[in-house]
Each structure stands twice: as structure tokens, then as C-alpha cells.
Amino acid sequence: MKKKTLKIIGFISGIIILFFISLPTLLNTAGLHPEFKESKNYHFKNKKAVIISTSHNVLSKPGETDGKLTGVFASELTVPYYEFIDSGIEVDIASIKGGEIPIDPESFFYAVKTVEDKRYLKDDMLQEKVKNSILIDKLNIADYDFVFISGGWGAAYDLGYSEILGEKISQAYFNEKTVIGAVCHGVLGFIKAKDSLGNLIIENKRMTGVTNKQIKELGIYFTPQHPEDELIKAGVIFESKTAFRDVFANLTISDEEAKFVTGQNQNAGHETPQKMMEILKNKNE
């Protein structure tokens, strides 16, 4: 009887261990962090990009100041960073408040950690850039060929409220060479961008961002701004794809002007910068 019990326990333990070993592959197969199959190897020279991040680090409910630690979702910074770097592009890292960027600790959970996240953890140069990010006020947008905004829960608390970020996106929009991109909550960084007459720049543009459905499914609907709601309020033609859980959905959209490239969530981390680089390459040909 004792031997039989031990065998059963051993079998169940083996199944559990196998499940945890297989979990990253299972999630990837379901649609999390897919490879971009149409990825191209670009070789740019004398091009610059800036990746802009949240500075907010607490996932707090309305009227509260305490909560779980949060920030930028790691892959929404690391994946585009290495897409640009590996294409010969110089990359700066900036944030709303400057200084150390908070990274959501849950984004380093083994089952969702990307190859680029692992690369970041061994990359002293990028870690230094994240620790000493540039204050967005100090950015000269004219220096950059690419402006990319990362997401994460922290972005719901500061990107869409920043007048300075709105001004920087406006400058990027009217700078002929600059291509602008964002994924997930990063699109909130666009909602205060205006033209000289005070009109919202993103009005009537096709865009995507993290859906209300995904936010509800993850049980974090108490954040102050939701991309789907805010983009629609700004007059955006909002588009998205859905899945049995939207965390596994994926969509990337380039607007008709080829100025903005937006990704629905973390799954667009590769495709969004890839399409941004394709736009610039086509402009230069």
C-alpha cells in the first residue's frame, strides 16, 4: 500500500514538474510573445531612436497610494530596444520623471520572460540606461528617427496626463523624418498631442492598444486610464483582435500617413518596431 501511494505521489509530482517546465512553451503556442515571421534584418547607419517609459511604480486603486509594485512591462521595453540596436540604431531611454525606470517584477516571471528580457539582465549598458533614463523634458525630438513608447500598468497613471509628452509627440509628428510607435498602454502617450490649432493629432487615425476585455480579464480595471477608452475619446478609429483571452491576441496597425505604428499589446513587441523601420527604409529609398 505504501509503495503504491509513493508511486502515485511520484507520478503526480512528475506531471506537475512537467507542466511547469512546459508552461513557457504552452503560453507561447497560445499566442504570448510570438515571433514576427516577416522580420527583416535592417542595417541602418547614423539613425537614432528613443524609447519612452512610465515612471509610475505602484498599482494603486482610486484614492489609495499603496499597492503592488508595477512599472513598465519588461518586454515592451527590451524587445523594441534590441530590435533597434540589432539594426544598427543608437537608442536612448527616457521616462516621464527621468532617472530609474520601474520595471514590473511580474514581467520577469519565468513563464513570460522573453529572450530579450534575459538579454537585458546580462546587459550592463541597457541596465545603466534604465537606471539613469533621460527626463522627457530634455529630449530634442528632432534628433530622433524613431520615437517608441512602452506600456505596462504604470503607463496608465502618467503617460496620458503628461503635457510634456504630448508636446514631444506633436514635435515628432511634424518632424518629417520621425516615425512614432507604441504598444499596449504606451498609446496613452499620444492623447495629449495637438497641432498648432489645438486639434488632437490622432483624431480619425486607425490605431490599436490594449483592450478593455484584456484589462478586465486580468482583473485590473481600476487603473485611471484605459487605452481603448481614451483613444476612442480622442477620435481614433480603434481596432483590435480578440482571443479566448486577449492577452494572447495580437494586432499591429500602421496609419495611412505611415507616421504612427501601434501594437495591441506585448505580443506586438517585435512587429511594431519592425514596421517602424520598414517605413523609414521606404522613405529613404
Residue in 156, 105, 95, 157 with CA at minimum distance from that of residue 131: 95
- Per-residue pLDDT, 15: 60
- Per-residue pLDDT, 4: 61
- Per-residue pLDDT, 63: 87
Q: What is the rounded CA–CA span in Å between residue 250 and residue 138?
A: 33
Running DSSP on this structure, what letter comes out for residue 159?
Answer: G
- Per-residue pLDDT, 23: 81
- Per-residue pLDDT, 9: 56
Is domain 51-284 in CATH 3.40.50.880, yes or no?
Answer: yes
- Per-residue pLDDT, 2: 59
- Per-residue pLDDT, 282: 92
Q: What is the rounded CA–CA span in Å between residue 258 and residue 114?
A: 28
Amino acid residing at 187? V
- Per-residue pLDDT, 100: 99
* Low-confidence stretches of the chain (pLDDT beneath 50): 11
Specify whether the CB–CB gap between 262 and 181 falls below 8 A. yes
Helix (H) or strand (E) holding 258: none
For the record, the C-alpha cell of 56 comes out as 509610475
